[in-house]
Amino acid sequence: MSSTPLTLPRRCCFLGWLVRTLYYRRVSVRGDSVSRRPTLFLLSHRNGATDGQIYMTALGDTPSLISIQLLRHWYLRLFFAGIPVVRDKDRVRYGIAADAVPSPVRAAIAQIKNGGSLCLYPEGTSAWQAHPLPYHNGMAVIVARLKAAGVDFDVQPLAAYYSKPDGFRSRVSIIVGTAFRPLGESIADLQAELADALDYISVNAADNAAFNRIQARAWRGARDGADYGAVFLRIQAAENTAQNCPEKPLPATWLVTRAYPPADTVDLRASKAEHRPWAKVLFALGFPLIAAAALLAGRAADGRNNTTFFRVLGGAAAVVPQILLWLTACYCAPLPALLWLILGICGWYYYPEPAPVPLAEHPDAAADHVADE
């Protein structure tokens, strides 16, 4: 095995930057500084494969363990790379033999030993819900083996806060937790230590009703210019403390100082001016093939947490035909074609930011929880 640590290919970094820039209105990073030592980054998993492109904002070309289904087709490999993981459902779905792919645990350990860093999604799959899914113990196994080998490394948690995971031109906030060196000795102790560190900075509300209250107030804060994730985390910590959950004070540098009103005084609906239907029309007219392809592809999603993934892949597939259409128009009528393009760009720039959508609070509601696609 190579002694050179892995990094993501430049094409993945570039395409990830395009996705963040063109699809989202803003991707911010708050919290502590990202560790520059060999580090195992533990990441909350909220929005399917799109999470990887979002975390690049903070972690650059750091690779991750990645589902084999994202590496099976050349088109997907344009966007995604990493150390492949074959889950049980992947073996059933694709008929992959157990020994067809090298052990991801061994590959992860080698990456850290060689002086590199690695991203890990302990939930294994993504979910748009009020709290994290159960964490797999693979993170504890990797850390235990690294400690046993005497490797000097850090563990650092990060969490992504989406105002609307399936919303075009929505905002995302990344909260970077504090890097630390795990103290646990047994797998069970390490699992608890690592889970606590990730829970501390992740979306982790008591239930859907609590999530909706916190989301509404965080949205109000974001509209007033505060960081969405910082407001969400602060209010969540206060709610959990009020509900007799163990208090874990947040570092002062992570917090916003303004107190936002109770959720029942916050209106999630945008004002008439903020709707800007004219911007939506201009965007659709300026980028007709891309918009149509993205909308059609989004229908293949089976949950809010992978809608953006399908829209991005569909829209990207229509970029070349869209460019050819523009060039043809420029050849036939240069000035009208230039005006067409300018109006389309204006539509994208002024496209209204979508408001969050509450989670269903009745017990029979289906969970917005699916595998990464």
d(CA 283, CA 289): 11
**pLDDT tens digit sequence for 107-118:** 999 999 999 999
* pLDDT score for 366: 46
d(CA 233, CA 159): 10
**b/e map 138-167, b = 16+ CB within 10 Å:** bbbbbbbbbbeeeeebbbbbbbbbbbbbbb
d(CA 157, CA 242): 25
Q: Are 44 and 50 in contact (CB under 8 A)?
A: no
* pLDDT score for 370: 45
d(CA 90, CA 222): 39
* pLDDT score for 141: 97
d(CA 181, CA 155): 6
Residue 250 CB neighbour total at 10 angstroms: 17
d(CA 371, CA 48): 7
Q: Which helix (H) or strand (E) holds 119?
A: strand 118-120
Q: Are 158 and 41 in contact (CB under 8 A)?
A: yes
* pLDDT score for 146: 97
Angle at 116 between CA 113 and CA 119, to 5 degrees: 105
* pLDDT score for 183: 95
* pLDDT score for 186: 96
Answer yes or no: pTM beyond 0.85: yes
d(CA 266, CA 280): 25
Q: Are 113 and 94 in contact (CB under 8 A)?
A: no
Residue 257 CB neighbour total at 10 angstroms: 7
Q: What angle, rounded to 10 degrees, do the helices at 138-148 and 104-113 form? A: 40
What is the torsional sign of CA 248, 251, 257, 258? Answer: negative
Query: Mean pLDDT by 10-residue block, N- to C-terminus, for the chain (373 residues)?
Result: 85 97 96 96 96 97 94 94 85 75 91 97 93 95 96 97 96 96 95 96 94 94 92 90 58 50 53 77 97 96 94 97 96 96 97 94 53 45
Domains and CATH numbers, the chain: 10-202 (3.40.1130.10), 205-268 (no CATH), 272-363 (no CATH)
Q: Are 108 and 159 in contact (CB under 8 A)?
A: no
* pLDDT score for 251: 58
Task: Take residue 28 and report the two structure tokens written for it.
Answer: 């911010």
**pLDDT tens digit sequence for 135-170:** 999 999 999 999 999 999 999 999 999 999 999 999
